Each structure stands twice: as structure tokens, then as C-alpha cells.
Amino acid sequence: MGKIIKDACILFAITLIAGVLLGAVYDVTKNPIAEQNEKAKQAAYRAVIAEADSFEALDGEQYSEENVTETFAQLLADDPESYTADEIVEVVAGIKSNKIIGYVITVVASDGYAGDIRFSVGISTDGEYLGTSILSIGETAGLGMRAKTDPKFLAQFNNANTEKFVLTKNGVMEADSEDQIDAIGGSTVTSKAILRGVNSALVAFKQISSSNVKTAGGVSVE
């Protein structure tokens, strides 16, 4: 019995020390990790709205990090395309000269070939599509991963002003149609996932732009 108690005490001591050490490591690393995450966010914002001087969260609990997904979930579900595979996980405003010039909308598309694709899109206040920044993707190398490694696919969205993009294949596109996007060769699933995610961001943008939103700091479109 004494040996069992001794072994239990030793195990308890080891567990306690390990817990203390893990806690200390967390305390040391949490701030640098948070800073790096914030830098990555800011880089993604600037990649899609390059002209902005700064970026601010939108005013209102519905746009907070905790609530924004739920805020847009029903809106996406009620859309004729029913974007239930997509989540809006963040919305911030791009600010220039104390005026909102556009919005960065971050989407998680869960219907990629290898799972979730997380990306941010930039849309100006007048509806012009400004750019896309892929934050995380695990698609097949040389195929779906080309959505990130080959800029030609995402560049097709830029400068269009539309409420919905349409996917085409094999380059079969109508002349002068800015809403048509040619799929990545051999990667239709990835192409569809990103395009539907972009379209869900456009649904969210339409709602935001019609709501006369302000930032948490009081900045507006006007």
C-alpha cells in the first residue's frame, strides 16, 4: 500500500510540474502569437484593399467576432443559391481619409476538395471587387492548390462589379462578361468552392452596404 501511495504522489508531482511548465510557456508565447496573428490579418486586409490607411471593426454586436457568423448564417441560407457551406467569420472596414472606402469580408468555404478554404475578399463601397487573399488552404498540390500558387485564377474576379459570379470551364466564356470565371483546369471542386465563397461574401456585402454601417470608431461611408 505504501508503494502505491508513493507512486501516486510521484505521478501527481510530475503532472503538477508539467502543468505549471505548460502554463508558463503559454504565458510567454501567447502575446507573440497574438501579435503574429494580428500582423497576418493586417497583411491580408492590405492585400485586398491596398489603398486603405487603416482597418476598423464595424460597430454593433452583430458584427463582433463572436456573433458575425450567426448574423449572416440565415441570410446565406435564405439566398436562392443557399450558401450553407460557407461562413462569414469576419468583416472589417478599410479607412482612408477618415472615410470607409471598402470592406474586407473573410469567408470559410467548407466544400473544398480537401476541406475548409479560408480567404478574405475586398469590395469597395461602390461594389467593385478589389482582390482575394487566401489565408489557409489544403487542396491537392499542382491542382486545387493552384488557386493560391497561380494568381491567374483569383485575378479574374478583380475589378468586376456584379452581385454573382458564374463558373465556366475550358475557357468557354461570353465576350465582355465580367461575372464569368474560368475554372482551374482539373480542379472544378476547388474552383466552385472559392467561387461560391466569393458569392456568399457578395451577399454579405449587399446587406452591409444597405445598412449604412459605421465603424467602432464612428467612421462612415460619407
- 75: in domain: yes
Q: What percent of the chain has pLDDT over 70?
A: 83
With contact defined as beta carbons under 8 Å apart, do 145 and 139 qualify? yes
- Residue with cell string 502569437: 33
The reported pTM is 0.82
Query: Which secondary-structure segment (H or E) carries 97?
Result: none
With contact defined as beta carbons under 8 Å apart, do 171 and 132 qualify? no
- Contacts of 158 by beta carbon, 8 Å cutoff, 6+ apart: 129, 130, 131
- 222: in domain: no
- 39: in domain: no
Half-sphere exposure of residue 160, counting CA atoms within 13 Å on the CB side? 22
Work out the pLDDT band at 171, boundaries 50, 70, 90: low
Could you list the residue range(s) of the whole structural domain that residue 164 is in? 49-209
Cell of residue 102, nine digits:
471598402
Query: Which amino acid, one-letter code, is at 82?
Result: S
Q: How far is CA 33 from the centre of its chain?
A: 19
Q: How many domains does the chain have?
A: 1
Compute the mean pLDDT over every residue in the chain, rounded to the nearest whole number. Answer: 88
Confidence check: pLDDT of 163 > 60: yes
pLDDT digits (tens, 9 = 90+) for 126-152: 999 999 999 999 998 988 999 999 999
- 176: in domain: yes
Q: At what angle do helices 188-209 and 68-78 cross, to 10 degrees?
A: 110
pLDDT digits (tens, 9 = 90+) for 80-101: 999 999 999 999 999 999 999 9
DSSP code of residue 128: -
Work out the pLDDT band at 13, boundaries 50, 70, 90: confident
At residue 40, the pLDDT reads 76
